[in-house]
Amino acid sequence: MYVQSLTLRNFRNYERATITPDRGVTVFTGSNAQGKTNVLEALHLCCLGRSHRTARDEELIRWGEHRASVQLRTHHADGTHDVAILLDKTQKKKKTVRIGTRQAERIGELLGHMCGVLFSPEDLSIVKDGPAERRRFLDMQLSQLRPQYFYGLQRAVRTLNQRNALLREIAKNPSLLPTLDMWDEQLAQIGAQIARNRREAIAFLGEEAARAHASLTGGREALRLRYISQTEDAPDSAERLLSRMRAARQEDLRRMTTTVGVHRDDMGVTIDGKEARTFASQGQQRSAVLSLKLAQLEMAARETGEAPVLMLDDVMSELDPGRRRQLIERIDRVQTFVTCTDLSDLAGARQGMVYRVENGVLHA
């Protein structure tokens, strides 16, 4: 898979821009705060229907404007795919997705038309921060590869919110307690499906990340991933999760929130047996995240049968020469979009199209 064209209208600081990228490496260079990252944000928006930088879609619309759009054309083994995301502050439905000439009924219909892996300096949070960041990493990867996972995740969030609301209501009206059983059963069924997908993903990512990390470190360090969950890897995992939820019911009623479920899952990351979050240096954490991103590339290629797009947001300058060389060897195999302030950061890479970015204007 590769991107043939990307057109922005009133997106972030771009009034209008059309990009026809190289099949290899396309570079966006320029000073800071000129709009380089905004291009990658638009590509990411076409992967998952959401920005990686903000949950507020109105922030994507150019200052002083009411509407914005991102149009993407990709080439797949089965032909050309056209998608568009339209943002409008004035409409009740603020975001609309078009697939070809048809308006999508659900955001999930966008998934699969553009598959990409984004690596940015902020991704250090995957290792450095709490479990929520690692769940987000897993959920975003699985959602763009498996639309049914995305829909299951949506159902799980709705069910969890409804159960938590019921717990608060029970505190005021204890007669509602029997209705909790229905929500427990639904949450356990959905949770078991989510856990199964996450466990499979971590098993694959763990092997690939360990291999990439050994290459990056010259075999001096061993990276390991593990799934930390309250669910069991067994045919009756839904029943076991339900049993745990019922055992925690009194605590849930006291705290008025759900204390057991896949919303508490985590992905353990260790280097030489020590927790990377606590004991790894920043350089080691950066290598761990880079290994995870390279593993994502392999997983996406396996699941879809086509190489995904790689997006690198100002990360070359953060890597030492050895790690930079290892990454450059990988990007020669996939279509890559790179932002940087200095082209010398890409020494040794096969550069194709280079755009100089100045205040939302692209100069080829």
Please tell me whether residues 156 and 223 are part of one structural domain. yes
pLDDT tens, per residue, the chain with 364 residues: 999 999 999 999 999 999 999 898 999 999 999 999 999 999 999 999 999 999 899 999 999 999 999 999 999 999 999 999 999 999 888 999 999 999 999 989 999 899 999 998 889 999 999 999 999 999 999 999 999 999 999 999 999 999 999 999 999 999 999 999 999 999 999 999 999 999 999 999 999 999 999 988 889 999 999 999 988 777 789 999 999 999 999 999 999 999 999 999 999 999 999 999 999 998 899 889 999 999 999 999 999 999 999 999 988 877 777 777 777 777 778 999 999 988 887 776 676 889 999 999 999 8
Structural domain of 196: 123-305
By C-alpha distance, which of 187, 193, 188, 205 is closest to 138? 205
Please tell me whether residues 103 and 133 are part of one structural domain. no
Please tell me whether residues 221 and 299 are part of one structural domain. yes
Task: Please state the domain count of the chain.
Answer: 2
Sheet holding 67-76, edge to edge: 14-19, 2-11, 67-76, 79-88, 95-99, 102-103
Q: Which CATH number covers residue 152?
A: 1.20.1050.90
Last residue of a domain, one of 305, 330, 351: 305
Please tell me whether residues 252 and 324 are part of one structural domain. no
Please tell me whether residues 179 and 300 are part of one structural domain. yes
Last residue of a domain, one of 271, 290, 305: 305
Please tell me whether residues 74 and 131 are part of one structural domain. no
Q: Which CATH number covers residue 344?
A: 3.40.50.300
Backbone angles phi, psi at 100, to 5 degrees: 65, -125
- Report d(CA 163, CA 246) in Å as an integer: 13
Please tell me whether residues 298 and 314 are part of one structural domain. no
* DSSP category for residue 61: B
